[in-house]
Amino acid sequence: MQASETIANFFLETMVVLGGGRFRGTQAGFRDRRGIRVEPLVLFDDAAGAHTSTMALPASQVSARAVRAAIKAKREEFETYTEKVSIRVLGHFSVRP
């Protein structure tokens, strides 16, 4: 690993941690079949440990604010999902006249 890659990873990890995430690594960028470059992704989890869904942001968009926003959106998505599932499950056990 080159020094520039190490510094870049340190920067990305720092932004993730400052945003409340747990840095999981990066996914290398590549060129798709049409030759279009797909940029590297930064992978992270919610450091609170409430949900272990891994999230990703394009490396060029990583900031503490972006990580916080992604974590907040994932928490809201999870809450909405669990509420819908709870209603459905409880509906199966409710007594019907």
pTM assigned to the model: 0.76
What's the total number of domains in the chain?
Answer: 1
* DSSP character at residue 95: -
DSSP 37-67: EEPPEEEEEETT-S----EEEEGGG--HHHH
pLDDT digits (tens, 9 = 90+) for 5-56: 788 889 999 999 999 999 999 999 999 999 999 999 999 999 887 667 899 9
- The residue range of the domain holding 7 is 3-93
Q: Check residue 77 and give its pLDDT.
A: 87
The region, left, alpha or beta by phi > 0 then psi within -120 to 50, assigned to residue 70 is alpha
pLDDT digits (tens, 9 = 90+) for 69-91: 999 999 888 888 677 666 666 66
